[in-house]
Each structure stands twice: as C-alpha cells, then as structure tokens.
Amino acid sequence: MKQAIRKTANNYKQALPIMLSMLLLVNLLNPMLEMYYPKVFSGNFVIDPLIGAILGSISFGMPIISYIIGGELLRIGISLLAVTAFILTWTTVGVAMLPLEAKFLGKRFAIVRNLLNFVFSILIAILTVFLLSYV
C-alpha cells in the first residue's frame, strides 16, 4: 500500500510541471484565438467544420464552458456546423495536453486517440447539422 502511494505521488510530481505549463499556455492562447474566431469562418459547408475542428483542437477547454462558448459563437453568426465541430474537438482533442498524455499513456495511443477524435468530430458535426436540417 505504501509503495502504491509513493508511486502515485511520484507520478503526480512528474506530471504537475507539464500540466501546469500546458494549462498556462492554453490560458494565454485562448483569449488571442477568440478574437479571430468570427474572422476565420467563411460559411462554407466543407471548410467551416475543418476550421472549427482545428481551432477547437488548439484551444482546449472544459466541457461545462463549451455551452457558453458555443452559444456565443452561434450568437455572432458562426454556423452550427462550425460550432459543433469546434465544441467537439475543444472537449475531446487536446493538442496542448498531447505531451502529457503521450508521456503517461504512450505516444502512439495519444496521437491515434487525438486523430480519431478530430476526424470523428468533423463527421459528427456534419451528421448533427444534417439531421437537424440546418444544411
């Protein structure tokens, strides 16, 4: 039992500096990126979900905040398609957390998981909008 606690404490000691630096980086980049969101979306059915997915992957955030961000993006005129792709990748793809995830779960696993989430986020966004007849 003591050995397990010691191992867990050592893992936290290793992860803490990486996690803090990644969170700091994300918190510095998010406000800068948010200024440009309305400018980069074109309304294009093909390009918007891709742009939304890329921005969501870079931004990274907590799911509870995604509802607020999604509502604000829709309010300023960004398409539901782009917002859906953005929110899905924002909560499931963590480019900023990739080094931490690779260190503890393995590089291959981290890359494959993020790539699959990225691709499926775009597909789910398209399917969601199609099913809601907003196309």
**pLDDT tens figures, 42-76:** 878 889 899 999 988 987 777 777 887 888 788 88
129 pLDDT above the threshold of 70:
yes
How many Å apart are CA 33 and CA 39, to the nearest integer? 10
Secondary structure (DSSP) of 68-95: HHHHHHHHTT--HHHHHHHHHHHHH--T
Which pLDDT belongs to residue 12?
Answer: 77
Cα–Cα distance measured from residue 96 to residue 99, given in angstroms and rounded to the nearest whole number: 7
- Sort 134 into a burial class: Cβ within 10 Å, 0-12 / 13-18 / 19+: exposed
User: Residue 113: pLDDT above 90?
Assistant: yes
Closest CA to 135 of 84, 86, 66, 89: 84
Q: Kindly write down the DSSP assignment for every residue of 86-127, as one continuous string.
A: HHHHHHH--TTTHHHHHHHH-HHHHHHHHHHHHHHHHHHHHH
What pLDDT, on the 0 to 100 scale, is given for residue 83?
92
